[in-house]
Amino acid sequence: MPEGRQVRAGDGALAQRIAPMLATTGPLPRDDAAWAYEIKWDGVRAITYVEGVSMRVESRNLADITPRYPELAGLPEALGGRGTILDGEVVAFDESGRPSFGLLQHRMHVAGEAEVRRRMAEHPVVYMIFDLLWLDAEPIWRYPYAERRGLLAGLGLSGPRWQAPAHHVGDGDALREASRERGLEGIVAKRLDSAYEPGRRSRRWLKIKNVARQEVVIGGWLPGEGGRSGRLGALLMGVNDESGLRFVGKVGTGFTDRTLAELGRRLGELARPDSPFSNQVPYRHARFVDPVLVAEVEFTEWTVNRTLRHPSYKGVRDDKPASEVVRE
């Protein structure tokens, strides 16, 4: 995780760079009343810096992604020019109102203003804001979560392409059940007294999932057969451990024709003659690539052989380096 430099109180919001705080996977906490609960949005993390009429949006790995989401350009006006740093998730919603990482893929790997505008019209996004790290000239990330959320609510951020959804104090099991009934990924629990810890994965924030998700490194692919003859058939997946990049299986479902074409082009540019995996890949016709692309898959369970059972492809992520992908 890249470390954002320390805040200097004399600088404005735009001068800062903050690596986001990350949650740890876990169960519902036992001391329920000491925690707040939020929906886990199936999108991409984004830290937004606002000062006057200017704005910058950065990804989890501190890349500037402002041009990618022009529908967020109205945030400075909505904030009345106040210097702020916001933390949240950029989300695309499907026709039933559920977050869709698959739809968001159409916005994540686009170049050129005209194409960005075209994709925006087809697949608009919403910025779901869940934390406030800076207000006016003051860094507030060391304030308790409950106080930061109160200040965030006071900003009244409710626009066509940004929202600050309410959090729920206590009764985490009820929110989790409601998220499961709606087919959502899960919830996030945050201690009410927790400070924000830039660049750290903390147990004071917990991901409680309804479905199993895992980030994987793409280390190769298998040629397609039948209806996919001449195209990509499956991706070869790995995660990092003490041995290097360990092969954890293949994924051959969850692709659209458009995705297959885009992945085929990108993998062709990364071709290499030897396997990047530290263990044996049991496929004679495997093609290998430099292990730099990170994908996300949904699956049922880890097997005793440390492979993913019934994985389904959700999309490629460009907000995390391959070297940081480990088994969750």
If asked whether residues 182 and 250 sit together in one domain, one would say no
Q: What is the mean pLDDT of the chain?
A: 93
* 88 and 199 housed in the same domain: yes
Q: What does the pLDDT look like over 192-220, one tens digit per residue?
A: 999 999 999 999 999 999 988 999 999 99
DSSP string, 81-96: T--EEEEEEEE-B-TT
Encode 149-163: b = buried (16+ Cβ within 10 Å), e = exposed.
beebeebebebebbb
Whether residue 60 is found in the same domain as residue 88:
yes
Among residues 314, 37, 300, the alpha carbon closest in space to that of 179 is found at: 37
Active site residue 40: yes
- Residue 135 sits in the same domain as residue 25: yes
Any idea what the CATH number is for the domain that residue 316 is in? 2.40.50.140
Nearest Cα to 4, choosing from 87, 128, 73, 91?
Answer: 87
Residue 7 domain flag: no
Residues 171-191 have a mean pLDDT of: 95
pLDDT average, residue stretch 40-59: 96
Judge contact between 130 and 87, C-beta under 8 A.
yes
168 domain-assigned: yes
The predicted model scores a pTM of 0.84
213-269: pLDDT as tens digits: 999 999 999 998 877 877 899 999 999 999 999 999 999 999 988 889 889 999 999
Same domain as 193, residue 268: no
pLDDT tens per residue, range 90-112: 999 999 999 999 899 889 888 88
Would residue 127 count as lying in a domain?
yes
Rg (Cα) of the chain, in Å, rounded? Answer: 20
Residue 4 is predicted with a pLDDT of 47
Do 174 and 87 fall within a single domain? yes
Residue 5: inside a domain: no
CA 182 from centre of chain: 20
Residue 263 lies in a domain: yes
Report the CATH number at residue 47: 3.30.470.30
Write down the pLDDT at residue 1. 42
7 pLDDT higher than 60: no
- The 201-209 sheet, strands edge to edge: 22-25, 201-209, 186-191, 35-39, 168-169
Name the domain count of the chain: 2
Q: Which of 40, 190, 250, 314 is catalytic?
A: 40
- For residue 137, the model assigns a pLDDT of 86
Are both 239 and 282 inside the same structural domain? yes
Q: In this structure, are 120 and 64 located in the same domain? A: yes
Judgement on whether residues 270 and 169 belong to the same structural domain of the protein: no
With 0-12 / 13-18 / 19 or more C-beta atoms within 10 angstroms meaning exposed / middle / buried, residue 324 is middle
Lowest mean pLDDT among 27-36, 221-230, 279-288, 304-313: 221-230
Predicted pLDDT at 111: 80
Q: Which domain holds residue 183?
A: 13-209
Residue 326: DSSP 8-state: B
**Mean pLDDT, to the nearest integer, of 263-285?**
95
